[in-house]
Amino acid sequence: MEIKDVLNKKLMILDLQSSSKEDVVMELVKPLVKEGIVTEESHFIKTVMDREAQSTTGIGMGIAIPHGKSSVVTEPSIVFGKSQKGIDYEALDGEPSYIFFLIAVPENSDDQHLRVLSQLSRSLMSEEIREKLLKATSEEEVLKAFQ
């Protein structure tokens, strides 16, 4: 499974409105619920926030990759979100986060989410990809950033 295989135009928010960590998680979960990928919204939000309590997924460079593995997730999915103003996500470098990838995987899946997380982290090390994502004004531009 590659990043481009799980990115879906219906799971993208190009102008996040949230201003806090928990709010952005709630906002990113909404498309998963709308598409029937998450069957119980509050349960999955709690799963992601419990993971955040262990250690932040704000990896720095303006990026956060919250994730959760849960029985209320029907298929592996990634929600892309972008904030124009930046959100304090308690990132490792202390800077605001602008680019978000929420990874959702079913409870019974293997460690494929770890492979996607690893791929995503490697891709986002590229300043060129980060710039393309920050400048993206359409879902197509987000997808092209990973080609």
Q: Using one digit for the tens of pLDDT, what is the confidence trace for 57-105?
A: 999 999 999 999 999 999 989 999 999 999 999 999 999 999 999 999 9
For residue 40, the one-letter residue type is: E
| SS3 letters across 33-98 | HHCCCECCHHHHHHHHHHHHHHCCCEEECCEECCEEEECCECCCEEEEEEEEEEECCCCCCCCCEE
* Domains annotated on the chain, with CATH: 3-144 (3.40.930.10)
Q: Using one digit for the tens of pLDDT, what is the confidence trace for 7-36?
A: 899 999 999 999 999 999 999 999 999 999
Query: Looking up tokens 């987000």, which residue turns up?
Result: 142
Q: Using one digit for the tens of pLDDT, what is the confidence trace for 51-68?
A: 999 999 999 999 999 999
Are the beta carbons of 44 and 73 closer than 8 angstroms?
Answer: yes
**Tokens, residue 116:** 């996607």
- Give the number of other CB atoms < 10 A from CB of residue 17: 11
Query: Looking up tokens 């460690």, which residue turns up?
Result: 111
For residue 121, the one-letter residue type is: S
Does this model's pTM top 0.85?
yes
- Give the number of other CB atoms < 10 A from CB of residue 122: 11
Average pLDDT, the chain: 92
Active site residues per annotation:
67
Query: Looking up tokens 């590659």, which residue turns up?
Result: 2
